Amino acid sequence: MTKLITYPDSLGGNLKELEQVLEEDFKGIFSGVHILPPYPSSGDRGFAPIDYKQIDPRFGNWEDISRIAEKYDLTLDFMVNHVSAQSKMFKDYLENGDKSEYKDFFLTPEKIFGKNEPSADDIKNLVLRRKRPWSDYKLANGETIRIWTTFGGQDPSEQLDVDINTDIVRNYYKDLFEFFASKGLKELRMDAIAYAVKKPGTSCFFVEPEIYEFMNWIEAEANKAGIKILHEIHAPLKDMRKLAQKKYQNYDFLISYAILEALLIKDAKLLVKLLEDPDRPDDWVTLIDCHDGIPVQPDMNGILNEADMVEVVNITERNGAKFTELHSTEKAYENAPNVHQICGTLYSLLGEDDDSFVIARAIQLFVPGIPQVYYEGIFGGVHDYPEYERTGDGRELNRRNYSRADIREALQRERTQRILKLIEFRNNNKFYEGSFSVAYSENKLELIWTNIFDKYDTKLEIDLNSLEARIITSESGKEEVFKI
């Protein structure tokens, strides 16, 4: 199973066109699709949801979503940590203040710390995604209120944190799970769930054990509606191991950076270390590029070689990357830049080298896991500098929209055809049903699957120096070689 990741308007402009692209341009390639937020939103390209029960009319309607869900394994996003400042809940609160039925819906600093102005000691522990994790808003009566806002590029933020411990928020979740199920949805991605639990004296990120209690509740309620949950948690290896041990479904964000590093510095030691980890789950979602950037910190904290990280950052910067930062006061690496994510198209980050680009995807498709492929990572597009210049957001380098004509043109690229053939090979060969191992020596990497259906073996051989790669399938002493 291989799943496509796309915005609702990135492939053709709307959901009906996206369905046609899946049926015609990508026929037989993808068994599923993760459609990034199609709801009305006031910011962050869909991630400041105003109303989940509506589809932005620019994209289509819920009938379009349901029709796609009938044909494909569909995933949609649920922003469990926050809602839009334009949502009916917050508009009602602004209008009616303490008389609003939604007065308990939103999280305030006072609820967390017992005071409206957290101290420097309170702040220093936090994993900060913006310089100040709260925003001030003015009620209709002129009173100023302060709401916790983990995310948002504006001040005040368009993304307001909800109080997950209140009945009104929990009932809001349950109602939406039932609604999603009624539209044929089978999987929800819990965006930013690691930030949902806040507790004084902690980082307010992945707070244990409370985060597990909340995740368990979310999964139980969603499962009642027939919906499975995919968590989106960016955390260091030690926390990834805990999630794996507790059998949560999550992303393996660690190999995203490790693949990039292997190709840029011609050394796969970090990737091999991760793949040989006995605690690494073989049923997590894998990806390289996505709508955000390639994760560095905090995901890779504790396992990165600082000099290698600096080299990767320097190379990608020369290749046109932009970087997002954490605003935490504590640094994980003394001499390395404070990089949260490396932003840009995978093709451009790899120096617009076709072989590196194709090999990166081959590695992802060959490691254990459930691969998801971002649409721009199929076409091998270059950085979208005009959109970056327009918005100032480095993530926009990798969010270009393609018309149907653009898609037809991109499908003619040799690198695109090589990627599609790799996905087809994985779909048809089903080597992931075998036993996996990895071998690495003198910059030569082998990803090996053996005893596939008790019949044959398959391996991917890569020379990181020459960037030559091939797939070898052997059965009953006969070998077949595929040059990628």
Residue (of 223, 242, 138, 139) closest to 180 by Cα position:
223
Q: Which amino acid is at 8?
A: P
Instruction: Measure the CA–CA gap between 484 and 482, rounded to whole angstroms.
Output: 6
C-alpha torsion angle, residues 295, 299, 303, 306 (rounded to 10): 50
E strand or H helix at 229, and its extent? strand 228-231
Active-site choice (219, 232, 325, 463): 232
Based on the residue annotation, tell me whether 232 is a catalytic residue of this protein: yes
Contact 41, 56 (CB under 8 A): yes
Task: Considering the candidates 44, 64, 158, 191, report the single residue annotated as catalytic.
Answer: 191
Report in angstroms the alpha-carbon separations of 333 from 129, 132, 322. 18, 22, 19
Of 80, 39, 45, 62, nearest in space to 177 by CA: 80
Q: How many angstroms separate the CA atoms of 96 and 81, rounded?
A: 23
Contact (CB, 8 A) for 309 and 302:
no
Q: Is 24 a catalytic residue?
A: no
The answer for residues whose C-beta is within 8 angstroms of residue 481's C-beta and 6 or more apart is 470, 471, 472
Using CB atoms within 10 A of its CB, is residue 15 exposed (0-12), middle (13-18) or buried (19+)?
A: buried
Tokens matching residue 419? 């990627």
Check: CB of residue 151 under 8 Å from CB of residue 82.
yes
Q: Which residues contact 412 (CB under 8 A, 6 or more apart)?
A: none
Catalytic residues: 191, 232
